[in-house]
Structure 1
């Protein structure tokens, strides 16, 4: 039996509990449970679901690319990607570190997301589009590099799911815990919500 913590990592927060440089927000600002570590990470300028636990074997099962846990992102991109750009993402694009695995991609009409502070920089003459992108890899800044490759840079990136675990119900900085009675089996009924530390 293991305890898994689901955290909504805010924008401009490190996916770790310390900051060697100093001055940046860390996980300790919103969750201070002894001995837990993140299973994977999110970039400083990305938001969304981060999974944490003190179970090293569980961390390995979640984060090891061989297990191909699908990761779902809502991505606000510059411009309006056409079918050619979306099909390229679905088939796999060639980045500096090789060809990506095919992604599942669809347009989102109006996702309900919390306002970001500060908001994205927008150019009045350039529209933006929200996409849902599902990948089974974890390369460095992969989704951002993929959308840039097809000509639509990422303006905002929110991870909304890792496997069956979802961000729903958590505002930025909030977390909840789940008791896992079997490896990799979410138990939403045993979850308890906890607000950010004040």
Structure 2
């Protein structure tokens, strides 16, 4: 039976075990020989990173053909208009590809951990949160999507992949689970506030 690690990746941690000259890596947080990341999460993004000790499960999670839903809480500059949310829901033309339709909704400011370093704050420009669920995972896709509809991303937290969630896992901490089958369930309600 394969195992999976659910890791709450802090901001600034690079998704690799080998040493890096500028950033802390997974080896600074996880001591689990034989586990490897299933997918990636950008250095300046936070939240759920999956690792597994099973090659087939790793391929299933990372392969875009399986289109596991990924839910993000996104702090953006500005207030999302109905038109911006509708564009995210339809799919956004990013030039090199058009995204699949996404689930997108306004999100009350969640009760979560502070980021280190904190986001930049502009005195006269408001910020807000949206919950965004996509079934792709192309390079910097969420940031590109929000920018395209006029909502630059300030903070990006992945909350869920398939039916695995970040719930109850503090930043820099991880939980190991045994799994039977790859996840297929729809995301839980992304509006539920959470503090690990």
Shared fold by TM > 0.5?
A: yes
Distance 2:126 2:172 in 1: 29
Moved more, 29-38 or 157-166: 29-38
1:54-93 to structure 2, matched below 5 A, reads: 54-93=53-92
Distance 2:173 2:33 in 1: 17
1:33-68 deviations in whole A, cap 9, x for unaligned?
Answer: 112110000000000000001100000111111111
Structure 1 residue 112: Cα displacement: 1.6
- Of residues 181, 184, 195, the one that matches 2:182 is 184
Residue 171 of structure 1 is matched in structure 2 by 170
Matched, 1:50 2:49: yes
Matched, 1:113 2:112: yes
- Consecutive aligned runs of 4 or more in structure 1 exceeding 4 Å deviation: none
1:52-94 deviations in whole A, cap 9, x for unaligned?
Answer: 0110000011111111100000000000010011100100111
Q: TM-score, length-normalised on structure 1?
A: 0.90
1:148-175 deviations in whole A, cap 9, x for unaligned?
Answer: 0011100000000001000010111000
Structure 1 residue 185: Cα displacement: 4.8
Q: Is the 8 A contact 2:162 2:183 kept in 1?
A: no
Residue 3 of structure 1 is matched in structure 2 by 3
Across the aligned residues of Structure 1 and Structure 2, the Cα RMSD in angstroms comes to 1.1
Q: TM-score, length-normalised on structure 2?
A: 0.91
- For these two proteins, the number of residue pairs brought into alignment is 184
1:90-130 deviations in whole A, cap 9, x for unaligned?
Answer: 00111122110001001111212110011000001111010
- Structure 2: gaps (5+ residues): 185-196
Distance 1:126 1:90 in 2: 25
